[in-house]
């Protein structure tokens, strides 16, 4: 980390300490409250391997957890990490049930207007996954097939839009779109023959295929109507100082190579992380 970054990140804590000498309970922003209390309460869906998942010892691990450990260390506070269903993560953030979301959130226009996204941690281009030997050559081949994805995920609207396009262009959309509480449920459904294909982001699928040789196969990419296919974490829109603090840590990890080392560790390949162009113009 550069000296300038260390100095910048120490300013909230220094200012907080000086203010505390004069008046009690001076913290006003979420970042200041975290630093004052010494605890960061984080919302996570630990069912999204290899980003966040629970290992055999019952611990939350993964690519995102490794990044989060560095962020918490830079803050100098304790971590209180809540493992929650995905459907409650973003509403829970706005309800102030926790300080920020450290689970992988795909960037889209609606979310970018409602939340403050950090610098991306991965590229989430969606792809199709089938059982091995049943791969499709293009997304058009999903016409008539039973497709699964996660409820309320970024790929749900992508899947719905693809279904509509297939109906318009080919006269037949999916045989059925099935929505599951977690992506891990879609893998079970695909393996059992309940569905014919899963739509999810490439990094997750690539690792799953490596871990389950002979079972699954990555097929064609799914084209989206937007150029933003990156994934990051989010804060409440007013918490831009917290968002910027986290982004600074991610950027520093990228620039000194630690982020790409973690990508190699968890994915087996590297995804370039941009400084700009990953958000729509009207984003926070």
Q: What pLDDT does 124 receive?
A: 86
User: What integer is the mean pLDDT of 99-126?
Assistant: 93
Q: What value does the mean pLDDT take over residues 214-241? A: 88
141/107 same-domain check: no
SS3 233: strand
Domain assignment of residue 149, yes or no: yes
Q: What is the pLDDT of residues 127-145, one digit of tens each?
A: 999 999 999 999 999 999 9
Residue 282 lies in a domain: no
Q: Which of 18-32, 140-154, 258-272 has the lowest mean pLDDT?
A: 18-32
165 in the same domain as 236: no
Query: Would you state the pLDDT for residue 21?
Result: 42
Q: How many CB atoms lie within 10 A of CB 213?
A: 8
pLDDT surpasses 80 at 159: yes
Q: Are residues 49 and 25 part of one domain?
A: yes
| 29 and 116 share one domain | yes
CATH code: domain of residue 16 = 3.40.190.10
pLDDT value of position 4? 42
Q: Are 99 and 236 members of one domain?
A: yes
Q: Please give the tally of structural domains in the chain.
A: 2
Task: Mark which of 165, 199, 221 sits at the end of a domain.
Answer: 221
| Residue 16 located in a structural domain | yes
Contacts of 276 (CB under 8 A, 6+ apart): none
Report DSSP state, residue 132: T
Find all residues with CB under 8 Å of 109, minimum gap 6, and list them. 226, 228, 280, 282
Mean pLDDT taken over the chain: 90
Those residues whose C-beta lies under 8 Å from the C-beta of residue 213, and which sit 6 or more positions away, are: none
Chain-centre distance of CA 258, in angstroms? 18
| Domain span including residue 170 | 126-221
pTM: predicted TM-score of the whole model, two decimal places: 0.77
What pLDDT, on the 0 to 100 scale, is given for residue 227?
Answer: 53
What the block records as the tokens of 280 is: 């729509």
Per-residue pLDDT, averaged over 67-74, amounts to 98
- Same-domain check for residues 156 and 45: no
Tokens at residue 54, please?
A: 């629970």
């Amino acid at each position: 980390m550069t000296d300038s970054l260390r100095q910048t990140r120490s300013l909230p804590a220094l200012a907080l300490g000086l203010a505390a000498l004069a008046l009690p309970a001076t913290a006003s922003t979420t970042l200041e409250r975290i630093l004052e209390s010494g605890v960061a309460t984080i919302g996570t869906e630990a069912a999204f391997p290899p980003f966040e998942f629970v290992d055999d010892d019952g611990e939350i691990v993964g690519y995102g957890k490794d990044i989060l450990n560095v962020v918490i260390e830079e803050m100098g506070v304790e971590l209180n990490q809540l493992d929650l269903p995905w459907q409650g993560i973003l509403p829970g953030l706005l309800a102030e049930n926790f300080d920020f979301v450290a689970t992988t959130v795909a960037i889209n226009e609606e979310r970018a207007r409602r939340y403050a996204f950090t610098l991306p941690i991965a590229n989430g281009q969606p792809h199709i996954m089938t059982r091995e030997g049943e791969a499709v050559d293009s997304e058009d081949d999903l016409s008539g097939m039973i497709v699964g994805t996660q409820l309320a995920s970024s790929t749900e609207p992508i899947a719905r839009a693809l279904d509509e396009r297939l109906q318009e262009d080919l006269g037949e959309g999916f045989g059925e779109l099935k929505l599951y509480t977690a992506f891990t449920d879609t893998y079970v459904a695909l393996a059992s023959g309940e569905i014919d294909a899963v739509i999810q982001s490439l990094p997750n699928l690539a690792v799953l295929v490596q871990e389950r040789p002979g079972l699954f196969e990555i097929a064609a990419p799914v084209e989206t109507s937007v150029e933003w296919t990156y994934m990051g974490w989010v804060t409440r829109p007013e918490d831009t100082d917290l968002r910027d603090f986290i982004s600074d840590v991610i950027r520093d990890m990228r620039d000194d190579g630690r982020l790409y080392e973690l990508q190699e560790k968890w994915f087996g390949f590297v995804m370039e992380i941009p400084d700009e162009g990953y958000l729509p113009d009207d984003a926070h």
